Amino acid sequence: MPPPADIVKVAIEWPGAFPKLMEIDQKKPLSAIIKEVCDGWSLANHDYYALQHADGSNFYITEKNRNEIKNGAILRLTTSPAQNAQQLHERIQSSSMDAKLESLKDLASYSRDVTFAQEFINLDGISLLTQMVESGTERYQKLQKIMKPCFGDMLSFTLTAFVELMDHGIVSWDTFSVAFIKKIASYVNKFAADISILQRSLAILESMVLNSHDLYQKVAQEITIGQLIPHLQGTDQEIQTYTIAVINALFLKAPDDKRQEMANILAQKQLRSIILTHVIRAQRAINNEMAHQLYVLQVLTFNLLEDRMMTKMDPQDQAQRDIIFELRRIAFDAESEPNNSSGSIEKRKSMYTRDYKKLGFINHVNPAMDFTQTPPGMLALDNMLYFAKHHQDAYIRIVLENSSREDKHECPFGRSSIELTKMLCEILKVGELPSETCNDFHPMFFTHDKSFEEFFCTCIQLLNKTWKEMRATSEDFNKVMQVVKEQIMRALTTKPSSLDQFKSKLQNLSYTEILKIRQSERMNQEDFQSRPILELKEKIQPEILELIKQQRLNRLVEGTCFRKLNSRRRQDKFWYCRLSPNHKVLHYGDLEESPQGEVPHDSLQDKLPVADIKAVVTGKDCPHMKEKGALKQNKEVLELAFSILYDSNGQLNFIAPDKHEYCVWTDGLNALLGKDMMSDLTRNDLDTLLSMEIKLRLLDLENIQIPDAPPPIPKEPSNYDFVYDCN
């Protein structure tokens, strides 16, 4: 007979004694269980003791998390969080350097546990650590020369404990003094050789900037871009990642009027070329967090264009009108200008109108009106002027080539430039805040100081080329823009390493090639609409859906590693979830790092019976997304979020690593609950498999015998004299 559900069998350790096997009744108060354990070892004052996991995490067991104790768990009897916090609070103030060092090491370890952290913070522990940081350098200045390793370790453990305690979100970042900020900022320069101190100092600065507007201003005064740049020129990718994260944080929180000023400083310090040389083109793979920080920097850089993108042209502004005059002058040669200056005003207006028509503006009389739509606003005019000045030959060729045509196949340069600029802003999501989970940076945008303008110059030449290949007229304008967008998107997905490589990719994606790709995709997605085929589809669809269902369940049995999002993204915490082979239980548990391959069931301590699952909710309906739903920067996280709701108001919250895993898990969980699989992935798989099955069934296989088993592999030849040696 199985034991009652509320009884858990565990082993409990106590230093110097044999472990005890005992049954824990989850209905009894935790204090009563601890008293029972203490009585067994004749320990008085049971209030001074607590239970904690002995599996390496060393987290305390509380009334809130006691339900996580599973059969066979190994627990440890230890001093209570309050006692432990009190003892460490006293020990870290010891006059003995060895005792102080050991206690700070313990504090750094224990601070990961929120139960301990709360007790230590209640003793004003954060203030004590900040005081130690503020006064520590002076106090141990004399000891530094003879005890430098000891001093470095002490500071490292102090900063680690501080970071872990603050990560729980119990204490506000607004409480810290300027002296503390100055000290942390000084460590960025002083301890460049000490990786652990530098890493934690950068992490603290980033958190300060992101979590407090007041601290942003103070940090911005204490740390300069010039002080951060040298850390990018090293070889430690983690330090480079933290450094770029601080730069991104300063960039993100800077007031609108200061961002362009900061961008100019970054350009002066050659940040782009340093990142290109020491990070992107370094002889090592770029990890996910570095890719994310590069993506954030890319987005923030392009967002500087938002102001121009959303600025309408003022038709009365002479300086803005002069830009249009300059476009005309470059295209149609300034030498003819003096000869026409003596002509009548009407004649000059007529000439200008003719030239503006040749330039491809919609409003020939007053082309300034073409730039009153936002987006792209004045950004389109900026791009046109850049193209005319920096790629003058190509600009003149495109304008004259199209202005001299009389067959209605001319490509309007002005209209094309405006629509292309708008399209590029949409592709690069100019004006949107960076996603918390995206790693999609493009190396080619780090190869040029004017990457967006150069991107435009390449694409406007592509548009003109595609227009000619399509033999388009003004009625085909939208069709051409769709083809150009497809060409650009397909080229970008290959992640070209330079703008030249991007141009090369576009050369291979001519209109003819796009037609071939479309035809191929259309054939693969061919949908037969005749009545017999539709009847056949209806007949075999349940079989295909069952096949998809089994695939989803098999993927759930393999399991997936999920990431826990926290305020400091780099210190990722992982957990793994998988379905038991009999499809009756979900096994899950925390991991120290992202696993390589599957994680066995027995290493996952927690279980959730499928029978207990009440519902699966997604997006804004998820409990962990309630307060985040309205935030723009959490849009992508929202699309990957789902939760399992089970008995006693319990919930298991997920954030899928990508859209594919999201679809697999939501489909699999719905299949377990006997509900329809509604994801986009299921629809695509169903269409693909139905199409393949129908094509197979329609093959003319009369009098052709299909073998039940594959043909045997032939024996190896006696010699390989027939092999041709290319060398």
| 3-state SS, residue 216 | helix
In a 13 Å sphere around the CA of 502, the CA atoms on its Cβ side amount to: 23
Q: Which residues are CB-neighbours of 410 under 8 A, at least 6 positions away?
A: 360, 402, 403
Cβ contact 131:139 at 8 Å: no
Question: Could you tell me the pLDDT band of residue 404, with boundaries at 50, 70 and 90?
Answer: confident
State the CATH number of the domain containing residue 71.
3.10.20.90
Q: Is the pLDDT of residue 277 over 90?
A: yes
Both 71 and 92 in one domain: the answer is no
- Whether residue 686 contacts residue 671, with contact meaning beta carbons closer than 8 Å, is answered with no
Provide the pLDDT for residue 527.
53
- According to the model, what pLDDT value does residue 632 have? 44
176: domain CATH number?
Answer: 1.25.10.10
User: Which pLDDT score, from 0 to 100, does residue 454 have?
Assistant: 97
Confidence at residue 6, expressed as pLDDT on a 0 to 100 scale:
78
- Kindly give the residue spans of alpha helices, DSSP state H, lying in 212-311: 213-222, 225-232, 237-253, 256-268, 271-275, 288-302, 306-309
pLDDT at residue 571 tops 70: no
Average pLDDT, the chain: 87
Q: Is residue 461 part of a domain?
A: yes
| Residue span of the structural domain in which 75 resides | 7-79
Contact 605, 630 (CB under 8 A): no
CA distance 473 to 468: 9
Neighbouring C-alpha atoms within 13 Å toward the C-beta of 262: 22
CA distances from 171 to 117, 118, 235, 534 (A): 10, 10, 35, 63
**pLDDT tier at 343 (50, 70, 90 boundaries)?**
low
pLDDT-derived band at 720, boundaries 50, 70, 90: confident
Per-residue pLDDT, 334: 47
Task: Count the alpha carbons within 13 Å of 343 in the hemisphere toward its beta carbon.
Answer: 13
Q: 256 is written with which tokens?
A: 């609108």
By the 8 A CB rule, do 378 and 308 touch? yes
| Average pLDDT of span 653-672 | 92
Residue 689 lies in a domain: no
Name 78's bridge partners. 50
Domain annotation covers residue 533 = no
Q: pLDDT at position 191, please? A: 65
Under DSSP, the state recorded for 656 is -
- Which residue reads 């919930």 in tokens? 651
Query: Do 261 and 122 fall within a single domain?
Result: yes
What does the pLDDT look like over 204-216, one tens digit per residue? 999 999 988 889 9
Backbone dihedral angles phi then psi of residue 485, each to the nearest 5 degrees? -60, -40
Q: List 651's β-bridge partners, or say none.
A: 645
State how far the Cα of 55 lies from the Cα of 418, in Å rounded to an integer: 62
CA–CA separation, 145 and 141 (whole Å): 8
616 - beta bridge partners?
644
What pLDDT score was predicted for residue 666?
94
Residues 52 and 116: their CA atoms lie apart, in Å, by: 11
- Which structure tokens are listed for 502? 């991007």
Cα–Cα distance between 158 and 180 in angstroms, integer?
Answer: 13
Quick one: pLDDT band at residue 528, thresholds 50, 70, 90? low
Average pLDDT of span 300-327: 93
pLDDT on residue 633: 45
* 23 and 138 assigned to the same domain: no
Is 491 found in the same domain as 368? yes
Asked whether residue 568 falls in the same domain as residue 630, the answer is yes
Q: Which of 64, 79, 94 is the last residue of a domain?
A: 79
Span of 14-28, 189-203, 223-237, 471-485 with lowest mean pLDDT: 189-203
Which range has the worst mean pLDDT, 201-205, 534-538, 684-688? Answer: 534-538
3 pLDDT above the threshold of 60: no
717 pLDDT tier (thresholds 50, 70, 90): confident
Residue 619 backbone zone (phi > 0: left; psi -120 to 50: alpha; other: beta): left
Question: What average pLDDT does range 660-685 have in this prediction?
Answer: 93
pLDDT in tens, 60-89: 999 888 888 888 889 999 999 999 999 999
Question: What span, in angstroms and rounded, lies between the C-alpha atoms of 82 and 412?
Answer: 75
On whether residue 478 sits in a domain, the answer given is yes
Confidence category of residue 463, pLDDT binned at 50, 70, 90: very high
* AA identity, residue 226: G
- Region 422-430: what's the mean pLDDT? 96
Joined together, the tokens standing for residue 431 give 């004006």
- pLDDT by residue (tens digit) across 493-515? 999 999 999 999 999 999 999 99
**435-457 average pLDDT score:** 94
Residue 392 within a domain: yes
* Cα–Cα distance for residue pair 112/110, rounded to 1 Å: 5
Phi, psi (5° rounding) for residue 643? -140, 145
> pLDDT digit string (tens) for 238-267?
999 999 999 999 999 999 888 899 999 999
Per the listing, tokens 């002490």 go with 154
Neighbouring-strand partners of residue 585: 609
pLDDT at 112: 92
**pLDDT band at residue 529 using 50, 70 and 90 as cut-offs:** low
Token look-up 């020129």 returns 233
Residue 116 sits in the same domain as residue 128: yes
Question: Whole-angstrom Cα distance, residue 243 to residue 259?
Answer: 18
At position 642, the amino acid (one-letter code) is: F
The CA–CA distances, whole Å, from 203 to 196, 240, 247, 295, 647 equal 11, 12, 12, 19, 39
Which of 38-42, 139-143, 345-349 has the highest mean predicted lDDT (pLDDT)? 38-42
Confidence at 148, pLDDT banded by 50, 70, 90: low
Give the pLDDT band (50/70/90) at residue 649: confident
Mean pLDDT within 542-559 = 94
Q: Which two tokens stand for residue 642?
A: 């789902």
Do residue 498 and residue 544 come from a single domain? Answer: no
* Per-residue DSSP letter, 60: B
CATH of the domain at 555: 2.30.29.30
Per the structure, how many domains does the chain have?
Answer: 4
Give which of 220, 212, 110 is closest to 567, Cα–Cα: 212
- Give the least confident one: 145-149, 406-410, 690-694: 145-149
The answer to whether position 690 is within a domain reads no
Q: Is 321 helix (H, G, I), strand (E, B) or coil?
A: helix
For the cut 70, the answer to whether the pLDDT of residue 725 exceeds it is no
Q: Is the pLDDT of residue 628 over 60?
A: no
Q: 320 with 363, same domain? A: yes
pLDDT tens sequence across 473-492: 989 999 999 999 999 999 99
Residue 707 lies in a domain: no
Write out the DSSP string of 395-429.
Answer: HHHHHHHHHT--SS----HHHHHHHHHHHHHHHTT
- 55 and 140 share a domain? no
The whole-angstrom separation of Cα 633 and Cα 296 is: 11
Query: ∠ CA 155-158-159 to the nearest 5 degrees?
Result: 85
* Same domain membership, residue 457 and residue 314: yes
Cα gap 62→59, rounded to integer Å: 9
Same domain membership, residue 572 and residue 427: no
Measured on CA atoms in the order 474, 479, 482, 487, is the torsion positive or negative? negative
Query: Per the domain annotation, does 264 fall within a domain?
Result: yes
> 583-612: per-residue pLDDT in tens?
999 999 888 777 777 788 777 878 899 998
Same domain, residue pair 476 and 505: yes
Rounded to an integer, the average pLDDT of 292-312 is 95
What is the Cα–Cα distance from 704 to 708, expressed in whole angstroms?
13
